[in-house]
Amino acid sequence: MPFKFSKFVLMLTLSAFAASILVDPEDQMLHFKVPLFLLALSVWMVRVVCRMVSPGSFKTWAAVLLFGIILPGMASIIGLLGHSIPVTDPHYFQIVRSCSMLLLIPVLSSEGIDLMKHIIRWSFAVAAFTLALVVLSFNAPLIYSVVYEFTLQKDNAMFGSRDALGLGIGSFYYKTVAVLVFPLAYYLRNLLNRPKKVISGVLAAVFLAAVLCSGSRATALGAFFVIVALGFQKLKTDFGMKVALPIIFVMIALPAGYFASFFHPEESSNAAKLGHIHSYIENFSEHPIYLFWGQGADTEFYSQGFEAKTVVTELTYLEVIRWFGIPVAAIIFMALLYPVLELSRLSDALSYLAIPYVAYLWEAGTNPLLVSATGTLMVSAIWGVVLMRRAKEPIPVTAEAVN
């Protein structure tokens, strides 16, 4: 009974932790993020001490400590030794606090817990909130204004009249809307391959509608990639490559002109990103050593995109290079991409995760979504799935590999 009860408490805590990050990414409303994180680790450690579960392999812990503590810690120290820490609002070791969430990976893999299932379930709250705001904005503007002020104060959402997608409804951007590519992929896959197609179709439409109402072009492109990739898989399986390729080509070609407008250089968001790129080039040109050692984490630099000094821009991968330097950044990028390879080789129901994960990495590259509580939660959940599946289906070792 203690074994089953403690496992239930751990799973419940992890599920609540995922919910708190999706609903309150800035932890300004519930203030549950840190207590739930510490509680999950504590329950797991008790289970390890009582020999209810294995603590995980040395390789897993070495990798988690490297990416979750050592590299972020070194980048923070480099930043402190320089002269680029913001004076007015310093965030010392902020990157360590974000990356420390990777400590959940050994918990998930040793316990065999698929946290992605819980993330997909709780993502419905984000979609429901987004669509509810759309309805309120048209039918109850007074209530909408109250909710708008509250979410603006808590820094969890951005709502406005900017019509980034050209749908005529404005934008209702909740900060965790990027994760909706995962439930969209899950229910779309069920729609294409499983019974109960009506329920799956309705839920897929709900998540797609929430993505469109968010006004996020990166998320819209991510959702389009999910639809095309899953559609291609289905067509290829049912009709073969000769039929699948021309159909997918048409699917991509028809909205190509619409998506091309997303990249117009004079659009405000694109102009800001171009300004960031120019400032990165200038920063690296003036300090070429940053390309090797990095400027350090939690540091600021002047960006033409914001016309001010900033700690974080919208170009995450260039930001990682600025923080860590190219050698360490390359290792980090490989660690982020490796799950795509592992998930793609699976033959079971979890293989679909490779598609929304690629979409999420795309979204994270054009928005500050990766080095944050939400981003590290998604990476931890994906790596937890990969290690859990590897434990069940170990990769065969060939004689050539041994030699």
Angle at 197 (CA atoms; ends 381, 249), nearest 5 degrees: 75
Residue ranges covered by each domain of the chain: 1-53, 57-113+264-403
CA nearest 218: which of 269, 152, 271, 158?
269
Please say whether the beta carbons of 175 and 26 come within 8 A: yes
Please say whether the beta carbons of 55 and 110 come within 8 A: yes
Q: What is the pLDDT of residue 370?
A: 86
CA nearest 328: which of 303, 297, 298?
297
Bridge-based pairing of strands 171-174 and 157-160 is antiparallel
pTM across the whole model: 0.91
10-residue averages of pLDDT along the chain (403 residues):
84 96 86 93 94 90 95 93 81 88 94 94 93 85 82 74 61 88 95 86 94 89 94 91 91 82 76 92 94 92 90 90 96 95 82 94 86 91 91 49 32
CA nearest 369: which of 353, 357, 351?
357
Provide the token pair at 137. 């904005």
DSSP assignment of 299-316: --EEETTTTEEES--S-H
pLDDT tens across 249-303, in order? 998 888 887 777 777 777 777 888 899 999 999 999 999 999 999 999 989 999 9
C-alpha 247: how far from chain center: 30
Please say whether the beta carbons of 185 and 352 come within 8 A: yes
Angle at 70 (CA atoms; ends 68, 72), nearest 5 degrees: 65
Q: What is the pLDDT of residue 82?
A: 84
Q: What is the pLDDT of residue 163?
A: 61
Q: What is the pLDDT of residue 403?
A: 30
Q: What is the pLDDT of residue 211?
A: 93
Please say whether the beta carbons of 99 and 67 come within 8 A: yes
Q: What is the pLDDT of residue 27?
A: 82
